[in-house]
Amino acid sequence: MDRIDEKILGILRKNARITNRDLAQELGLNPSSTLERVRKLENSRIIRGYEAKIDPRKLGLGLTVFIGIRTNESIGESDVGEKLAELPEICGLYDVAGEYNYFARVVVADTDELCHLMTRMGKIRGVKESQTTLVLHTIKEDLSVEVRREDAVDPD
């Protein structure tokens, strides 16, 4: 990966809908080499896909919470995690080290829906306990990754 690839990632991070022609123009490259570079980034799974940013509140999903989940699992087991990942209200699920085994980011309509989810989670074999933290305001939410590679080289 070189500095041009970094620039491509930075541009696509801000606007994944940019046309290949506009991307090439911004990079100062011809469209065919730009497309080839983007395809290489996609094939190597550096770019894993393109997603729409949806405002959950506009869909009536006004409550975001983080849930720390303790399980009976040993390190390396993931049965509980696989079951949790099937719950559609869980938007992000992370296997973590520390006080909890998993952290879940959950988006629901209201506390009734959250209560229903917590009941379903509690029925999953291996879930020991959980702690819920309510999000009051989202200050920053950017799930894309900014490329900051010191070892990137200039193409030659």
| Domain topology for 3-43 | Arc Repressor Mutant, subunit A (1.10.10)
- pTM attached to this predicted model: 0.82
The boundaries of every CATH 3.30.70.920 domain in the chain are: 56-134
CB atoms closer than 10 angstroms to residue 69: 24
| Burial class of residue 8 in the structure, from the number of CB atoms within 10 Å of its CB (0-12 exposed, 13-18 middle, 19+ buried) | buried
- Cα angle, residue 39 at apex, residues 38 and 45 outer, rounded to 5°: 95
Run of H or E residues at 134: strand 127-134
CATH code: domain 56-134 is: 3.30.70.920
Mean pLDDT, the chain, whole residue set: 92
What is the model's pLDDT at position 151? 56
How many whole angstroms separate alpha carbon 124 and alpha carbon 80? Answer: 7
What is the model's pLDDT at position 152? 56
What is the model's pLDDT at position 154? 62
What is the model's pLDDT at position 74? 78
Q: Name residues of the chain where pLDDT drops below 70.
A: 148-156
Counting other chains too, the contacts that 73-79 makes at CB distance below 8 Å and 24 or more residues apart are 73/101, 73/126, 79/125, 79/126
**Contact (Cβ atoms closer than 8 angstroms) between residue 155 and residue 12:** no
**The two three-digit tokens of residue 141, written as one number:** 């939410």
The boundaries of every CATH 1.10.10.10 domain in the chain are: 3-43
Run of H or E residues at 108: strand 102-108
What is the model's pLDDT at position 147? 75
